[in-house]
Amino acid sequence: MSAFHFHSKSLLVSRRRLLQVAGTGAAVAATVGFPGRLLAADPLKVAAIYTVPVEQQWVARIHKAANIAKDRGDIEYVFSENTSNSDYERVMREYCEAGHKLILGEVFAVEDAARTVAQDYPDTAFLMGSSFKPDDAVPNFAVFDNYIQDASYLSGLIAGAMTETSNIGMVGGYPIPEVNRLMNAFMAGVREEAPDAKFQVAFIGSWFDPPKAKETAFAQIDAGADIMYAERFGVSDAAQERGVLAIGNVIDTQADYPETVVASALWHFEPTLDTAIAAVNDGSFKADDYGVYSFMKHGGCSLAPLGTFEGKVPEAVMAKVAERTAAIKDGTFTVEIDDSEPKPS
Amino acid sequence: MEAFDILLTASFWVAAIRIASPLIFATMGELICERVGVLNLGIEGIMMAGAFAGWVTVYAGGDLWTGVFVAALAGSAFGLLHGVLTGPFGLSQHVVGIGITLLATSLTYFTYRVVLPEVSSPPKIVPFQPLEIPLLSDIPVVGPALFNQTPLTYLAFVVVGLVAWVLYRTPLGLALRAAGENPAAVEAQGIGVAAIRIGAVMAGSALMAVGGAFLTMSAFNSFFFEMVNGRGWICIALVVFGSWRPGKALLGAILFAAFDAYQVRLQQLAGGVVPYQVFLMMPYVLSILALVLVARRASYPKALMIPYQRGER
């Protein structure tokens, strides 16, 4: 996901704006603070720190879950978006100082610094997107990630049944574990339905360059791909323009591409967040790996409804998807977690 | 030989020209600035501002050409700031340029968030569509590449011609070039160097902004933060590559874009044996090589990066 933003100028840009946002957030939280309300019914004070705008797919899912929890009255929620990695540690500290009890975020590029902050604020719980495992030496620092390989695999089955050229195009940002494992699970699904499938895999070296993603997708379509795995914005646009199909990832974009996006593997952050909120509230929060709460059996991921493609996907494969979904949920079928970089074939 | 066959496909050249288009606008913009002696490092931020301004105008209900105009206006506003700070105030062009990039980038994002406080995915507009030019587009390979593009791409080529014509065939062009070579001589002719420089930087910045707008209004249909993604910096290199000449700079932009379009296609042939980073790097490495070969003989504007103070010797 969106870790490595130091390739761009965002390092420098948002500092002032961020100071402002963080400062106001902290001030509001400190002064308002709901003084009259006490006891267990108090909403938990949650602050999130994102390195990208909340439009980014991965972060959008976290943001959505937090807003749902806020609307339910479980939490008070503030956030800083587009925080550069060089500012990340400082913003974490500001939220800790302001009295937030649960800090959400993504520390893919600031793993060590974030853990140092956690050690300095042992009474604050940290739930961070991370490539590393939890460490008991930092007991208040738990990790999560989008382990939605179950849904990606199912979307692969559909793609495998839908492809006519047996040529699948895949455009990703960077080959990091968060991206690779979904691509690999998808490819495993495709291969099950279309054993001779050929994969074109490309990475564009950026999280936010839809024109480049689109150009890359065009190139793959020119080379015969008839289904595009849309890891980045821009890919579905190319598919739409050329009249080929696309498989969505993390968010459901079918409404924008009704004739193009067949199925999407959705990530639901709610189980992860709700588990953490409950743990903080009852004092049982510890250095756990919350990754499993993105698994299908915990409701952390799902296949988006076929929507406009209802009836256009072969029934045989939909029956198989239903059967596998049940098997994944009851634990009789496991989708392999493979973090290695997918290669063209 | 498959790798070579790619170069003969029309779709490859179509992609190359499409990728080149925003670079052509911005390179011409930077070239104008540098020809009057001002290095404009605000380019990256100005492109971002243009990308946003154009897109948001259309999103708010304006038509596409109004969007292009608003983008140019936004660009020239930053150009005015740059020109005034580096001209009459005589501040360091490096510092001002980087400052403008930071300011434009942050201001753009701030405005974006004010306009669209609650969105889950950035809204889309209907962008420029390819406009096929009859007959000419039927020429094999070259036809679709040059004559089945969006109107903004055609405009990019028109701009190159216009810049070349103004620079080399008009009295204004003479004054512009002289301001970058020997500003005192311009002053001696009774022409204000500051006015010439500010005007040129405004015009150049407007072009940079239109280059940014190409990304959101032609190459794609919505705005993303950071989507300019270093294209501005490429254009600064392209100006050097082009020896500060519009025609050569155009060639450089197309060459770079062709490398980029080529690497994407080549990636798949290599079958994962070569790391993908090597391919992503290719256009940049080849550009550096080309730069080394070409730029040795380049003669840069003599007064480039030297602030001009009236009456000072």
Q: A32 or A136, which is more confident?
A: A136
* Cβ contacts of A5 on chain B, cutoff 8 Å: 226
- pLDDT score at A41: 62
Cβ–Cβ contacts within 10 Å for residue A34, how many? 11
Residue A216 makes CB contacts below 8 A (sequence gap 6+) with A171, A202, A204, A235, B264
- pLDDT score at B1: 52
Please count the residue pairs, one from chain A and one from chain B, whose beta carbons lie less than 8 angstroms apart.
114
- pLDDT score at A107: 95
Q: Mutate which of B224, B236, B263 to disrupt the A interface (most A C-beta within 10 Å)?
A: B224
Per-residue HEC secondary structure of A254-322 comes to CCCCCCCEEEEEEECCHHHHHHHHHHHHCCCCCCCEHHHHHCHHHCCEEECCCHHHCCCCCHHHHHHHH
Say if CB B78 and CB B42 are below 8 A apart.
yes
Say if CB A182 and CB A5 are below 8 A apart.
no
Average confidence (pLDDT) over A217-232: 95
Q: A344, B270: Cβ pair inside 8 Å?
A: yes
* Cβ contacts of A79 on chain B, cutoff 8 Å: none
Report ipTM (2 d.p.): 0.93
d(CA A75, CA A100): 10
Say if CB B72 and CB B46 are below 8 A apart.
no
Q: Return the residue matching tokens 């974009």.
A: A253
Name the residue among A9, A64, A206 with its Cβ closest to that of B105.
Answer: A9
Q: B110, A210: Cβ pair inside 8 Å?
A: no
Residue A76 has which token pair? 């008070």
- The reply to whether A149-268+299-330 shares the fold of A5-144 is yes
What's A53's DSSP letter?
-
For residue A12, name the pLDDT band (cuts at 50, 70, 90): very low
Name the residue among A53, A253, A344 with its Cβ closest to that of B271.
Answer: A344
Provide the strand spans (E) within A173-218.
198-203
Please give the single-letter amino acid code of residue B178.
Answer: A
* Cβ contacts of B271 on chain A, cutoff 8 Å: 343-345
d(CA B96, CA A328): 58
Burial class of B64 by CB neighbour count within 10 A (0 to 12, 13 to 18, 19+): buried
* Cβ contacts of A16 on chain B, cutoff 8 Å: 106
Residue B165 has which token pair? 């014509």
A171 phi/psi in degrees, rounded to 5: -120, 120
Q: A202, B119: Cβ pair inside 8 Å?
A: no
* Cβ contacts of A52 on chain B, cutoff 8 Å: 225
* Cβ contacts of B23 on chain A, cutoff 8 Å: none
The C-alpha of A135 sits at a distance from chain B's nearest C-alpha, in angstroms, of 32
What percent of chain A clears pLDDT 90, i.e. is strictly above it?
Answer: 82
- pLDDT score at A28: 45
Q: B121, A201: Cβ pair inside 8 Å?
A: no
- pLDDT score at A14: 46
Q: B227, A208: Cβ pair inside 8 Å?
A: yes
Say if CB A95 and CB A26 are below 8 A apart.
yes
d(CA A87, CA A93): 10
Q: A8, B226: Cβ pair inside 8 Å?
A: yes
- Residue in chain A lying closest to B13 (CA): A219
The C-alpha of B105 sits at a distance from chain A's nearest C-alpha, in angstroms, of 7
Average pLDDT, chain B: 92
Please give the single-letter amino acid code of residue A172.
Answer: G
Segment B217-234, tens digit of pLDDT: 999 999 998 899 999 999
Nearest to B146 by CA among B20, B308, B266: B20
d(CA A333, CA A337): 13
d(CA A193, CA A186): 11
Say if CB A183 and CB A201 are below 8 A apart.
yes
* Cβ contacts of A234 on chain B, cutoff 8 Å: 220
Name the residue among B106, B219, B265 with its Cβ closest to that of A14.
Answer: B106
Nearest to B19 by CA among B302, B248, B283: B283
d(CA A91, CA A96): 9
Q: Which fold has domain A149-268+299-330?
A: Rossmann fold (3.40.50)
- pLDDT score at A138: 95
Q: Mutate which of A222, A260, A341, A343 to disrupt the B interface (most B C-beta within 10 Å)?
A: A222
- pLDDT score at B48: 97
d(CA A267, CA A60): 10
- Residue in chain A lying closest to B224 (CA): A208
Does residue A201 sit in helix, strand or coil? strand
Q: Is the pLDDT of residue A331 over 70?
A: yes
Domain extents in chain A: 5-144, 149-268+299-330
Segment B122-132, tens digit of pLDDT: 889 999 999 99
Sign of the CA dihedral with A345 first, then B3, B5, and B8 last: positive
Burial B208-235 (b: 16+ CB within 10 A, else e): bbbbbbbbbbbbbbbbbbbbbbebbebb
Name the residue among B119, B270, B280 with its Cβ closest to that of A55.
Answer: B119
- pLDDT score at B164: 98
- Residue in chain A lying closest to B214 (CA): A211
Nearest to A102 by CA among A71, A74, A68, A136: A74
- pLDDT score at A11: 40
Say if CB A149 and CB A249 are below 8 A apart.
no
- pLDDT score at B293: 83
- A190 CA to centre of own chain: 22
Name the residue among A9, A223, A251 with its Cβ closest to that of B44.
Answer: A9
For residue B290, name the pLDDT band (cuts at 50, 70, 90): confident
Per-residue HEC secondary structure of chain B comes to CHHHHHHHCHHHHHHHHHHHHHHHHHHHHHHHHHHCCCCCCCHHHHHHHHHHHHHHHHHCCCCHHHHHHHHHHHHHHHHHHHHHHHCCCCCCHHHHHHHHHHHHHHHHHHHHHHHCCCCCCCCCCCCCCCEECCCHHHCCCHHHHHHEECHHHHHHHHHHHHHHHHHHHCHHHHHHHHHHHCHHHHHHCCCCHHHHHHHHHHHHHHHHHHHHHHHHHHHCCCCCCCCCCCHHHHHHHHHHHCCCCHHHHHHHHHHHHHHHHHHHHHHHHCCCCCCHHHHHHHHHHHHHHHHHHHHCCCCCCCCCCCCCCCCCC
* Cβ contacts of A219 on chain B, cutoff 8 Å: 15, 261, 264-265, 268
Q: Hey, what domains does chain B have and what are their CATH numbers?
A: 2-116+155-295 (1.10.3470)
- pLDDT score at B7: 87
- pLDDT score at A345: 82
Class of domain A5-144: alpha beta
Record the pTM: 0.89
Average confidence (pLDDT) over B77-106: 96
Q: Which of B25-29, B97-101, B271-275 has the lowest mean pLDDT?
A: B271-275
Average pLDDT, chain A: 89
Q: Mutate which of A10, A16, A215, A237 to disrupt the B interface (most B C-beta within 10 Å)?
A: A215
Q: A215, B267: Cβ pair inside 8 Å?
A: no
What percent of chain B clears pLDDT 90, i.e. is strictly above it?
Answer: 73
CB proximity B119 to A under 8 Å: yes
Q: Is the pLDDT of residue A18 over 60?
A: no
The C-alpha of B298 sits at a distance from chain A's nearest C-alpha, in angstroms, of 29
Residue B16 has which token pair? 């190359």
* Cβ contacts of A250 on chain B, cutoff 8 Å: none
Q: Which of A30-39, A114-123, B302-311 has the lowest mean pLDDT?
A: A30-39
Q: B265, A253: Cβ pair inside 8 Å?
A: no
Q: B134 or B29, which is more confident?
A: B29
CB proximity B222 to A under 8 Å: yes
Q: Return the residue matching tokens 């459901």.
A: A252
Does residue A335 sit in helix, strand or coil? coil
Q: B264, A219: Cβ pair inside 8 Å?
A: yes
Q: B109, A53: Cβ pair inside 8 Å?
A: yes
* Cβ contacts of A207 on chain B, cutoff 8 Å: 226
Residue A245 has which token pair? 């199909």
Q: A149 or A15, which is more confident?
A: A149
Q: Is the pLDDT of residue B97 over 90?
A: yes
Cβ–Cβ contacts within 10 Å for residue A305, how many? 13
